[in-house]
Amino acid sequence: MIRTVIIGAGNVAQHLVSAFAKSDAVEVIQVYSRSKENSSNLIDSSKITNSFSAIADADLYIISVSDNAIHEVSKNLLFQNKLVVHTSGSVSMDDLENQNRKGVFYPLQTFSKSKEVDFKSIPICLETQNESDYQLLETVGQSISDKIFKINSEQRKALHVAAVFVNNFVNHLYQMGNDICLENHIPFEILQPLIQETANKISTLSPKEAQTGPAKRNDTQTINAHLSFLSDATQKEIYKILTKSIIDNGKKL
């Protein structure tokens, strides 16, 4: 068993504790949490500490705290030359303090505390400073997920930006759809099957192949009708810029 300490008690930390509990290869021997109560529903309270000096000896330390606390937490560790990884999509591996061997263990998914996730299908992006540490991290990843990818810090940065587009920004467009429905006394549920199908299509078609709509057809009449229908300035602006981008895109190869 790979003896692992998880440092942090947020969303990702809690999902990792649950996932490793079902793994044959990894044992979470301790969780560090500033307030002990946060994790007591997931692990025996004797295994929770709120003191850096009480952190146990382990094969792997996973820091799962907010992005801007990663460096500080890694500096507070009182041991050297151990494998210490963080779980962030947007923080470079080099942000970890030099006294330990560095790595990244980044599960690319949107986690809600209330919603159970199936870790098996969550891609986990791995990076290590030393090639010799990669295998251990790969074993840890494979014990909870079928999708392990070797991704360096520069690629992870790109991936995080891409994730903002397909997750945060997409969700914001869902909200605009929702707002337009509400203003016109239309139940948003009418759009649900379309939203699902739009996401499903992408598993068999490339986004370029899947593109439809007035912008794709350069259907100026419908585009202008939509623009005069929209009264909200922000919605109008977003409609215009995305329409222009789809039209320009159609002109490329």
Nearer to a second copy, 3 or 201 (CB): 201
Of 159, 157, 99, the residue nearest 129 (C-alpha): 99
Nearer to a second copy, 44 or 118 (CB): 118
Nearer to a second copy, 62 or 122 (CB): 122
Nearest-approach distance from CB 16 to a second copy, in angstroms: 16
For 65, 105, 154, 174, the CA distances from 161, given in Å and listed in that order, are 20, 17, 11, 19
For 7, 9, 11, 57, 114, the CA distances from 14, given in Å and listed in that order, are 10, 6, 5, 21, 11
Nearer to a second copy, 54 or 162 (CB): 162
DSSP H/E element including 31: strand 26-32
Q: Pairing mode, if any, of strands 101-107 and 124-128?
A: antiparallel
Handedness of CA 131, 132, 137, 143 (dihedral sign): positive
Nearest-approach distance from CB 202 to a second copy, in angstroms: 6
Nearer to a second copy, 51 or 234 (CB): 234
Nearest-approach distance from CB 116 to a second copy, in angstroms: 12
Dist. CA 126–CA 123, nearest whole Å: 10
Nearer to a second copy, 1 or 199 (CB): 199
Q: What are phi and psi of 157, to 5 degrees?
A: -60, -45
Nearest-approach distance from CB 29 to a second copy, in angstroms: 29
Nearer to a second copy, 79 or 169 (CB): 169
Q: What are phi and psi of 165, to 5 degrees?
A: -65, -50
Nearest-approach distance from CB 193 to a second copy, in angstroms: 5
Nearest-approach distance from CB 30 to a second copy, in angstroms: 28
Burial of 27 (0-12, 13-18, 19+ CB in 10 A): middle
Are the C-beta atoms of 156 and 104 separated by less than 8 Å? yes
Are the C-beta atoms of 67 and 82 separated by less than 8 Å? no
